[in-house]
A = this chain, B = another copy of it.
C-alpha cells in the first residue's frame, strides 16, 4: 500500500484506528492545527525546538491541502482520528474535520519516529515496542523546551531499550534522520532527565528494559501536544495518538547521508 492508497482508505472511512503498519516506507507525521493568530508563535516554538518539533510541512492559513507531502492530501479527511482542543481541554475526537475547518487555521506536520524505527529495523536491531506490538513508552522530562509566546513546557521523549553495542548503532542510524527527531537526546541514567520509573510512562505503554540494556531517549512529537495542553490556546486540533498523517514522502529520502 502506498501513502496515497493509505490516505484514500482513511478518507473513504475504511480505517479509523492506528496507522503504524500502514504503507511501509512512507513518512507519517504528527498533526498540529492552530488559528493564524498563534500559528506564528508556534512556528517560532518549533524553530527553537527542532529535536522534538521538526516541521516537515506547513499550510497557508485556511488551506487544508499540502501538495508537497501528497498530491491529493487533505488535512480535513486524511487522518483516521483527530483531537479537538478548546482552552487546552480535549473536547472531541472526530474522524474528519469537515465541520471544524476554518479560514484562519494553519496546519503543521511534524516528523514522527515511525520513520527512524523503520531504519533501525532494516538494520536488524530489535525495536522492543514494535516486537512487543505495543505503543512506545513516552515520558515528560525535566528538560524545558525553549519557549515562544504562550508555548512552553517540558520536552517529551520516547524510550527504546538496547544493548550497549546496539545503542551505539541506533545513535548512528538515527543521526541520519534529523527531520524525524534525529539522534537520541539522552542515554542511560533516566533520573538525570527527571524520569523516576521507566515502568510508568506518561504516555503510551510500558516497555521492558532487560538486564544488560540501556534505555535510550529520543525527543518526541508528542511534545507539541503537551505544550498545547499547557498553553491552552482557545482552539487547536491535533491527530489522535497513533492516528498519523500518511504522506507520499519516502522514509529513505529523509536520510541526510
Count residues of chain A with CB under 8 A from any CB of chain B: 18
A168 touches B189 (CB 8 A): no
B-contact bits for A246-257, CB 8 A (1 contact / 0 none): 000000000001
Q: Closest residue of chain B to A256, judged by CB?
A: B257
B164 touches A187 (CB 8 A): yes
Per the bound structure, the CA–CA distance linking A168 and B183 in Å amounts to: 8
Tell me the smallest distance from the CB of A176 to a CB of chain B, in Å.
Answer: 10
Residues of B within 8 A of A257 (CB): 257
Per the bound structure, the CA–CA distance linking A186 and B169 in Å amounts to: 10
Tell me the smallest distance from the CB of A120 to a CB of chain B, in Å.
Answer: 15
Per the bound structure, the CA–CA distance linking A164 and B185 in Å amounts to: 8
B171 touches A189 (CB 8 A): no
Judge if A212 is at the interface, Cβ distance under 8 Å.
yes
A214/B185 contact (C-beta < 8 A), A172-B171, A172-B175, A257-B257 known: no
- Name, among A165, A184, A187, the residue most crowded by chain B CB atoms within 10 Å (CB to CB): A187
B188 touches A165 (CB 8 A): no
Judge if A192 is at the interface, Cβ distance under 8 Å.
yes
A168 touches B184 (CB 8 A): yes
A214 touches B186 (CB 8 A): no
B-contact bits for A187-200, CB 8 A (1 contact / 0 none): 11100100000000
Residues of A within 8 A of B (CB): 164-165, 167-168, 171-172, 175, 183-189, 192, 212, 214, 257
